[in-house]
Amino acid sequence: MKNRIFVVLFFVLVIVSESFSQKMYTDYFNEAIERYQSGDLMGALSSFKYVVNYKPKNIVYIEALYFSGLINMKLNYPQTAISFYKKTIETSFDSAYLKGQESPYSILSHYRQLSSEELSETFYSVSKYDSALIYIYLADTVYKIGEEDFNGVEESHARHGIKIARIYEKSGQQDKAIDRLLKAVFYVFGRPDESIAELIRILQKEYTVSELKEITDKSFESIELYNGKRYCINFLGRRLDITYQLCDYRDSPCFDLSIPEQKKKAVSIIKKTKFYLIISGLK
């Protein structure tokens, strides 16, 4: 009897020992991140594969899918990367996982937006510009995550705008590229410098520096009050709203442009914007 008890206890101890020594899926994930950061891409991919293939659809699963896409792109396997990014976007959480958990939807939305951006970049790299355009628009609309402040909203919009403009340019739609970039050139918080630089690069294919300066000067002098409340200038046949560069939205209209002194003051204010200063400073 004692021998039987000893044998049973021995097997119990073996099972317990194995369960404690067995790696958890979070261990595989952490291992994958460490390998990824150290440059061991194949090792990282192997560890992420375990999480993707054997574990439930939770936050770690979503992250493993996304990083698997990144690694495959780095290894120059764009089609495999596309497959992982699409799985990241299409994944949803089971209600059982959500029960008693802090809502993971913000994290899921974050990775959906990131995956949409990466899909756009991946399709762009293989010259599939229609698909690249679709996914960057999805990142900017359907999968857009809420920004905490106005600065973040402008910056995100400008960043996506540059990508959209480059896709339009590559697909031979230069006018649409210019239109998209012009939406961000008067941003205050969203670092408009990059959008302005991209716009200048495209415009210099058609205009000299002196021509660009002349066009800009004339457009700023063309300031007008549109629909009784919005201040606009005409730049290359496009109406650009510059109201927020002149007034608080609650105070518009704040200048009577029919009075020469007030118009002169309004023009002097908008000539202090980065858009005007960068173009006027071109050599």
Question: Cα 155–157–159 angle (5° rounding)?
Answer: 65
Which residues in 6-26 are b (16+ Cβ under 10 Å) and which e? eeeeeeeeeeeeeeeeeeebe
DSSP string, 201-242: HHHTTT--HHHHHHHHHHHHHT-EEETTTEEEEEETTEEEE-
In a domain? residue 133: no
pLDDT above 90 as % of the chain? 61
pLDDT band at 215 (very low <50, low <70, confident <90, very high): very high
Which residue range(s) make up the domain with 244?
Answer: 208-283
108, burial (CB in 10 Å: exposed 0-12, middle 13-18, buried 19+): buried
In a domain? residue 41: no
Q: Residue 11 has what pLDDT?
A: 36
Tokens of 78: 């764009």
In a domain? residue 239: yes
In a domain? residue 245: yes
Check whether 136 has a pLDDT greater than 60. yes
In a domain? residue 227: yes
Length, in residues, of the chain: 283
pLDDT above 70 as % of the chain? 83
End-to-end CA distance of the chain: 97
Tokens of 261: 């002194």
Check whether 241 has a pLDDT greater than 70. yes
DSSP string, 125-161: HTT-HHHHHHHHHHHHTTTPPPPSSHHHHHHHHHHHH
Out of 7-11, 104-108, 218-222, 264-268, least confident range:
7-11
In a domain? residue 255: yes
In a domain? residue 275: yes
- Cα-Cα-Cα-Cα torsion 252, 254, 260, 265, nearest 10 degrees, comes to -110
Q: Residue 23 has what pLDDT?
A: 74
pLDDT band at 125 (very low <50, low <70, confident <90, very high): very high
pLDDT band at 124 (very low <50, low <70, confident <90, very high): very high
Contact between 199 and 177 under an 8 Å Cβ cutoff? The reply is: no
In a domain? residue 202: no
Report the number of distinct structural domains present in the chain.
Answer: 1
